Chains A and B, each alone.
Chain A
């Protein structure tokens, strides 16, 4: 049957050259109707470039694309959308100051009145069981909610081909299941899906075919269900993938970080208040905090790093000393380093060189500043040291942080903190948008660091990551932290249920940790 029908999208010999880089080199593959097709590859393998060419943002230097058998001539995204190509971007192309509805309206071509559009949006939200308030301003939304806007925006167009770039990194397991149900339903209706993800087990579960890119070339096309995650990862990176090695016999030392009854008001209108959070982390321990975005993670990180002060000094103790109301730099000096989720502008200044970005957090612990003057060569040596030890792909210590790819910048930031050997490291989303090779590297570095005696707090939405790394795990939901559990004994289902009370849906579940029946209700969002 499918042999008679031309593929939905066929690419032959696509080549795209950038100054200094051959982003796509003779790429050919086809996506059938109703097929869920995975596009796999490390950061910089050329996936984004390829997708941008399909979506009409860029044009190939050579090669041809066919849409339902006819040459694809989308000169810009508008034309691509008219043909039925929808796209959910990895870096959300959202407008912070505008409302959800306005954002969606911008992505639609054609004069639908705002009332009619809102009705359609609510229809789609209902059909796919997504929660989103159309009138909220985007800047007040969590990352997960922002992604939902992109998804709704794409679904509204009744696409024939839906391109999804890293769609699940911010979802709970239940939400992922829901999304997969949605995608399968779409596929069964004949919509083809081009699915880009680093999560190989998801690709195994969801996708019919996978095309693997490396260095701009197609290196393999396979059936994910017949592969293992490891075999696909190795095709992707073109080498062996080492599993994270947790030391078998690890001893925890003294309590390095103790938090007792941390409560914090909502920072802004749509922030999450922290309610009576208590936990402690020992030397050598990795403490994981799971939860859906927007449940107080950012507030907790700010309270730990010192960007927000606790009500009393004794609420947070670092190595036995109260630091609840100290400034971030004081805490750093005392041994607590923190890495926020947002890399650009929070963890690093994009327009600064790597050397200067190193100075920003490591000036005291690495003595890069003396009597108010920057030690020029020491700062460059430090940046070079990070680049070398953490395998950061950068032109050198003078490269700006913004010129690095997401994964490489994350490696640099991680390296900058780890090389300061803090007693306590608090880190949010260590491997967000980072490819498998780099993620494995960062994971190993964190484990090694714990082995060397640091106490580590990892705040992440990636449950697989937390299960692989942490010794102890808690779930944050609506600003309440669940009782810590031993990772060995924790079940994914239980954690998922704890994560489940999605934003504004069940105020009750925030007060008492959800008991089973209540929680089951809560996840049906």
Chain B
């Protein structure tokens, strides 16, 4: 295999991983605060359609991403209001959010179906971004660099800052956090909004980074993979990165082998298509068999908090 092909594959892999990575990072913060938001897929779809629509109408991918983040956060606030302020069941509300997002994106996106969009490419000069070797470093979309930055930022926030410590404390023992004097609900609202924005951006990656068009159900269940990743990565940002890239790797291998044809034809397409999902879950289950995993789970995950206990 030639080096240039390898580099091309790596770039595809990184691109394919980015939406999952972004959405999962958001969900990681949400879950660390003790909230389980199963609505990632819905928020991603909403972000995807809004990102597409704004980028298509204005021609600015930046604006598309910004709006996708805003709308993702806005949609997550519906979830936050129902589960945090009204103590509704988080699982049911999250599922409803996914159904809402799926329906909304299909309705809102119908007029954009079949319209072409330009991919959000590297902003570096062509000499760097299109050089067959240097493009491994400079040839990515700004969204990719943003995802790298966010892995580090989330890790740093959770493990090194006081605000991150408070957020973890709220997810660990909400009653104690409340009795010390932290506003559990307010902190969780903030975490959920962050998760929504990240899922929105992750969704916007699909039309801007992967397939420059709108089709219904564009995210193809990636939101669910993001959700599983968080658990299997034991709520650690760096493992999340590894898990997301594993998914991207297998998805890329699938693409290239399909294109190569030949002997690879023996394996049915459907199996190839499901392979990234199966393999990612499989590997992560193996990793999480280690004992450190469960200890890292936020103790209050999914439990509603009512002040005054």
Contacts and interface: CB of A to CB of B under 8 A. Distances in A.
Interface in A28-59: 56-57
B6 to A, nearest CB: 41
B11 interface: no
A306 B37 CA distance: 39
Instruction: Indicate the member of A81, A94, A95, A102 with the most B CB atoms within 10 Å.
Output: A95
A105 B173 contact: no
Given A94-B173, A98-B172, A105 B180 contact: no
A508 interface: no
Contacts of A93: 173, 175-176, 179-180
A94 B162 contact: no
Interface string B274-308: 00000000000000000000011011000000000
A50 to B, nearest CB: 15
A139 interface: yes
Chain B, interface SS category: helix
Interface in A72-106: 76-78, 81, 89, 93-98, 102, 105-106
B180 A97 contact: no
Nearest to A78: B181
A93 B173 CA distance: 8
Nearest to A113: B162
Nearest to B176: A93
Contacts of A77: 179-181
A111 interface: yes
A107 interface: yes
Contacts of A106: 165-166, 169, 177, 180, 182
Interface residues of B, number: 18
Given A95-B169, A97-B296, A111 B180 contact: no
B168 interface: yes
B295 A76 contact: no
A105 B162 contact: yes
Contacts of A76: 181
Nearest to A57: B179
Contacts of A78: 180-181
Nearest to B172: A95
A139 B179 CA distance: 19
B220 to A, nearest CB: 34
Given A102-B165, A105-B165, A106-B165, A95 B176 contact: yes
A114 to B, nearest CB: 9
A98 B173 CA distance: 10
Contacts of A105: 162, 165
Contacts of A107: 180
Interface in A232-280: none
A360 to B, nearest CB: 22
A97 B295 contact: yes
Interface in B145-181: 162, 165-166, 168-169, 172-173, 175-177, 179-181
Interface in A102-143: 102, 105-107, 111, 139
A55 to B, nearest CB: 8
Contacts of B180: 77-78, 93, 106-107
Contacts of B177: 95, 106
Contacts of B172: 95-98
B308 to A, nearest CB: 8
Interface string B162-206: 100110110011011101111000000000000000000000000
Most buried by A among B166, B172, B175: B172
A519 B225 CA distance: 58
B202 to A, nearest CB: 27
B296 A98 contact: no
Interface string A395-412: 000000000000000000
A111 B179 contact: no
A107 B177 CA distance: 9
B181 A98 contact: no
Nearest to B307: A57
Nearest to A107: B180
14 contacts: A89-B179, A93-B173, A93-B175, A93-B179, A94-B176, A95-B168, A95-B173, A96-B299, A97-B295, A97-B298, A98-B165, A98-B169, A98-B172, A102-B165
Given A96-B299, A102-B169, 6 more contacts: A76-B181, A93-B173, A94-B176, A96-B173, A97-B172, A106-B169
For the complex of A and B, list the 6 residue pairs with the smallest distance between their C-beta atoms, beginning with the closest. A93-B176, A78-B181, A77-B181, A95-B172, A76-B181, A95-B169
